[in-house]
Amino acid sequence: MRVTDDRYAGEMEKFDLAMRMIRHEARTGTIRACTGFTEDRVRKLVASYCRDTGRPPLRRRRGKSPRQVAPFVSSAERQAETTRLATLYVYCRAARVTGEGQITGGDAASQVEIAQRVCQAYELYQLLESRPTLSFEWAWNLYHALLVTGELYFAWCAGCDAPYVQDRYALDYEHCPACELREQQGRRATGSP
C-alpha cells in the first residue's frame, strides 16, 4: 500500500512539474528530460492545457534547446540580467557556490526536484525583473552552462567585489556589469567617449 502511495505521489509531482513547465512554454524535450514522460504524454498534456485555459495552441519550439552562451554576456545589461537569474538559482538551492567559487548542484535529491527549483527561480526572476528578456528555455540553458558544461561561471569584480556571470572562454577584466553600466552612465553624463 505504501509503495503504491509513494508511486502515486511521485507521479503527481511529475505531472505538476510538467504542467508548470508547459505554462513556461518549455520545449517537449526539456519536459521529457525532467519528468521521464513520453513525447506523446507531453503532447496530450499540452493539448489539455490549451483546452482547459481556452488558450490557442502554444507555438511549440521543436528541436534542441538553445546552447550558445554568447547571448548571456552580449552586453552589460544582459550580463547583469543573467547574473540576477543565476543568483536566484543559488537562492532557490538549485545551485550552490563553494568557498572557492565553484558552482555545484544544490542538495536536490532528484531531477524532478532540480527542475522544481529551476522553475521557482525562473518564476521569481519574472516577478522581480522589470523587463525579463530570457525565456524559460534560455533559463534552462543558463543552468546547464553553469552547472554541467561550465561554459559560464561566477567571476568576482575587482572594483566592488560582487559576483557576476562570465563566459569561461572570454577575456575577463574583473569588471562586473553593474560597475560597467555605472561607468557608461558617468561617461554619458560628462560627454566623454
Using Cβ positions, the residue closest to Zn ion within the complex turns out to be 157
Alpha helices, DSSP H only, in the chain? 2-23, 28-35, 39-53, 76-91, 111-128, 136-147, 177-190
d(CA 68, CA 59): 22
Which residue in this structure is represented by grid cell 537569474? 85
Residue 159 interacts with Zn ion (CB under 5 A): yes or no: yes
Of the two residues 80 and 124, which places its CB atom closer to Zn ion in the complex? 80
Query: Which of 151, 157, 181, 182 is close enough to bind Zn ion by CB under 5 A?
Result: 157
d(CA 143, CA 148): 8
| Binding window for Zn ion (CB under 5 A); candidates: 48-56, 57-65, 66-74, 160-168 | 160-168
| Binding window for Zn ion (CB under 5 A); candidates: 97-105, 112-120, 133-141, 150-158 | 150-158
Of the two residues 42 and 176, which places its CB atom closer to Zn ion in the complex? 176
Q: Are 17 and 112 in contact (CB under 8 A)?
A: yes
Residue 160 interacts with Zn ion (CB under 5 A): yes or no: yes
* Per-residue buried b or exposed e for 34-57, using 16+ beta carbons within 10 Å of the residue's own CB: bbebeeebbeebbeebeeeeeeee
| Binding window for Zn ion (CB under 5 A); candidates: 32-40, 109-117, 159-167, 184-192 | 159-167
Of the two residues 47 and 158, which places its CB atom closer to Zn ion in the complex? 158
| Binding window for Zn ion (CB under 5 A); candidates: 14-22, 59-67, 90-98, 158-166 | 158-166
Q: How would you classify the pairing of strands 152-156 and 103-105?
A: unpaired
Give contact residues for Zn ion (rule: CB under 5 A).
157, 159-160, 176, 179
